[in-house]
Chain A
């Protein structure tokens, strides 16, 4: 069998999940967007994604392949794993953006300090200091902590809104600069998330 051919009947497979001619299951595509038949966009329609997920779940369920060729049984297992991982990533706007960034060659995991704007670090540092003072204070600071939590949550909402706008920008232009901005905002959001975790820890203590 050559690449791009159905393993069973050797007709052109054209990256379809099933061969158009003999209907046998093909080796699944590993790219999540391609697997779900979606364009590589940062904004996606979550309802459409969910529909695709349910539809593919039915088509690919390993139970349907128990009487089929070993190869199809293997492919259905592989495809189901990609389906679940892909759905988990694509339905989450942050994970989805990280996926696109990684695909576009951005190093998401290990970033050096140069990638983080100093103003953001200063802001995060000050917020952490303020939070620490609240937590270590002798008197009851519950109201202030709750106030801080709602402020951080508002900051997260703002970050999400900015991300949504940046997503639109990249989807429309495909320019790398807009992805740089996406990564910056994702970093900021990550710090805000940490602050929320910290303040919630303090509130539940």
Chain B
């Protein structure tokens, strides 16, 4: 199976690899995984508490090229968004942007789950009430 150019670009030059201080009160961390393929993905956001805007996003993914590209793309999209806007990112957006084939759609689902988990973690820390939609259904 051939990867799209965009996947290869993110895979070869992943954006925002790294980590943020997990203990900081304005950092939300989400670790998610897909046991069937053994992928594990960590995604973190650093939020400006005054504005609710995501100032920094980092990720580290152990997995296939599509999983790396999905999380790399997600961190690009997250920066500059408010936490609520971030929750509107759907896995289908990632699928479309990266032209992921059907067998790799679960990688984009993983990235969406990672965003939600990170935002949920931030909201819990910041004492923002977590709406039902944020909790992983």
Q: Could you tell me which A residues sit within 8 Å of B by CB distance?
A: 108-116, 118, 120-122, 124-125, 128-129, 132, 186-187, 190-191, 193-194
User: Closest residue to A186 on the B side, CB-wise?
Assistant: B35
The contact of B106 among A110, A124, A129, by CB within 8 Å, is A110
A200–chain B nearest beta-carbon distance, Å? 14
In the complex, the answer to whether B38 meets A194 with C-beta atoms within 8 Å is yes
Which among B34, B110, B137 has the highest number of chain A CB atoms within 10 Å?
B34
Which residues of B have CB within 8 Å of A132? 62
In the complex, the answer to whether B35 meets A191 with C-beta atoms within 8 Å is yes
Which residues of A have CB within 8 Å of B35? 111, 115-116, 186-187, 190-191
In the complex with contacts A125-B62, A191-B35, A114-B136 CB distance below 8 A: yes
Q: Could you tell me which B residues sit within 8 Å of A by CB distance?
A: 31-36, 38, 40, 42, 60, 62, 106, 109-110, 113-114, 117, 136-137
User: Closest residue to B29 on the A side, CB-wise?
Assistant: A122
User: Closest residue to B39 on the A side, CB-wise?
Assistant: A194
* 16 sampled A-B residue pairs with Cβ under 8 A: A109-B36, A111-B36, A112-B136, A113-B32, A113-B113, A113-B136, A114-B136, A116-B33, A118-B31, A120-B33, A125-B31, A125-B40, A125-B42, A125-B60, A187-B35, A191-B33
Count CB-based A-B contacts (< 8 Å): 53
User: Closest residue to A183 on the B side, CB-wise?
Assistant: B35
Please measure, in the bound complex, the distance between the C-alpha atom of A187 and the C-alpha atom of B32, giving whole angstroms: 13
In the complex with contacts A118-B31, A121-B31, A125-B42, A113-B36 CB distance below 8 A: no
B81–chain A nearest beta-carbon distance, Å? 21
A118–chain B nearest beta-carbon distance, Å? 6
Which residues of B have CB within 8 Å of A187? 35
Please measure, in the bound complex, the distance between the C-alpha atom of A121 and the C-alpha atom of B33, giving whole angstroms: 6
In the complex, the answer to whether A124 meets B33 with C-beta atoms within 8 Å is yes
Please measure, in the bound complex, the distance between the C-alpha atom of A34 and the C-alpha atom of B42, giving whole angstroms: 44
Which residues of B have CB within 8 Å of A121? 31-33, 40
In the complex, the answer to whether B31 meets A111 with C-beta atoms within 8 Å is no
The contact of B40 among A110, A112, A191, A193, by CB within 8 Å, is A191
In the complex, the answer to whether B38 meets A190 with C-beta atoms within 8 Å is yes
